[in-house]
Amino acid sequence: MRLTAEETARAAAFFTEGIARRVSRPVRLMEVCGTHTVAIFRSGIRQLLPASVELVSGPGCPVCVTPNEYLDTAIAYSRRPDTIITTFGDMLKVPGSDSTLMAEKARGADIRIVYSPLESLPVARDNPGKKVIFLAVGFETTAPTAAATVLQAEQQGLDNFLVLSAHKLVPPALQTILSAPDGKVDGFLLPGHAAAISGLEPYRFVAETYQVPAVVTGFEALDILQAIYILIEQLAGGKAELANQYRRVVKPEGNPSARKILEQVYQPAAANWRGFGGIDGSGLALRPEYRHFDAQTRLPLDNVVTREPAGCRCGEVLRGLIVPDACPHFGRSCTPEQPVGACMVSVEGACAAWYKYGQGR
């Protein structure tokens, strides 16, 4: 049931007054997920919170955390005459070291936007003389569909379908933030859709090992306000627990069927994250029995030269160390029309959200 605007406003006032009463010191909460970042801006939650409650964005925007080396590899593949690239649309504008997929498409590269990895299979079937490479970017939420696509390609005997995997897992990035000497997060709003697949267990360490409260959170304004309220109550009471605000969707055990497909096709592997560097066990690599679908195994590339954009502080934004307008490029040399870094490209990027919704409070 959806609330009316008036009911929502009354409920919001109730929560924010309660929050203001309970905060006795400045607290820093991280909304891990890019979808939460956008929902927080769109619903004006930042303006509702007392000044002592700071919200910082985290590493949960899949396009943003994909490093330039991946983009440069994808661009190098797109330049080959024997390939077709399939990708989600928001990868097109992300700047690589010296080009974008959009620029390569304009120059004639065969790059096709898909809304599901499964759409790559008919492309592969219709183009047997080409290698069709799907740019597999995303977290626990999207990886099961990519895994199902690999299984279907196997069933259909499509050996010209390949995957360039940059799938990532959220919990290892949180562990990196929590163990970093420069990070200070008092509580986490955890991504409801990733937890809907993984379940609660992978997030338990946040509270149990690091004594930081964490709440798995839905995406409506009231979900987020309630989750903030739960975090503040825990902090006020000196508690650190893992709570599930999004019980209508997230089961403690997650989605075992999706996880089974994922675990059949992929295994955890080290992965590079923009702003974090390499994190052990934070990526997903195709298991040996499916490695013939791996683009880098089947079509190795030499000498992909890569560098991060000069002055871009996207990495610090993704670790919650700065807010976007602390970057000197923000709103000047970096805008959604002319992005310098990935965080200004994706609709879920913190810089793009700050720009679109008017810079925070």
Binding site for ligand SF4 (CB under 6 A): 312-314, 317, 324, 327, 329-330, 334, 340-341, 343-344, 351
Shortest approach of ligand SF4 to residue 60 CB, angstroms?
Answer: 16
203-215 burial by CB neighbour count: b if 16+ within 10 A, else e? bebbbeebebbbb
DSSP 122-135: HHHHH-TTSEEEEE
Distance CA 151, CA 178 (A): 36
Shortest approach of ligand SF4 to residue 306 CB, angstroms?
Answer: 16
Shortest approach of ligand SF4 to residue 315 CB, angstroms?
Answer: 8
Q: Residues 131, 83: contact at Cβ < 8 Å?
A: yes
In the bound state with ligand SF4, the residue whose beta carbon lies nearer, of 39 and 340, is 340
Q: Which residue is nearest to ligand SF4, using beta carbons? A: 341
In the bound state with ligand SF4, the residue whose beta carbon lies nearer, of 131 and 313, is 313
Q: Residues 188, 213: contact at Cβ < 8 Å?
A: yes
The two structure tokens encoding residue 203: 């997030």
The separation between the first and the last C-alpha atoms of the chain, rounded to the nearest angstrom, is: 29
In the bound state with ligand SF4, the residue whose beta carbon lies nearer, of 72 and 140, is 72
Shortest approach of ligand SF4 to residue 325 CB, angstroms?
Answer: 8
In this structure, which amino acid lies at residue 11? Answer: A
9: three-class secondary structure by DSSP: helix
In the bound state with ligand SF4, the residue whose beta carbon lies nearer, of 242 and 314, is 314
Residue 54: DSSP 8-state: E
Alpha carbon of 86 to those of 61, 124, 212: distances in Å? 20, 10, 40
In the bound state with ligand SF4, the residue whose beta carbon lies nearer, of 96 and 324, is 324
Q: CB under 8 Å, gap of 24 or more: what pairs does 2-5 form?
A: 3/222
In the bound state with ligand SF4, the residue whose beta carbon lies nearer, of 258 and 314, is 314
Shortest approach of ligand SF4 to residue 311 CB, angstroms?
Answer: 6
Shortest approach of ligand SF4 to residue 341 CB, angstroms?
Answer: 3
Alpha carbon of 207 to those of 60, 82, 240, 250: distances in Å? 19, 50, 5, 18
In the bound state with ligand SF4, the residue whose beta carbon lies nearer, of 62 and 341, is 341
Shortest approach of ligand SF4 to residue 319 CB, angstroms?
Answer: 12
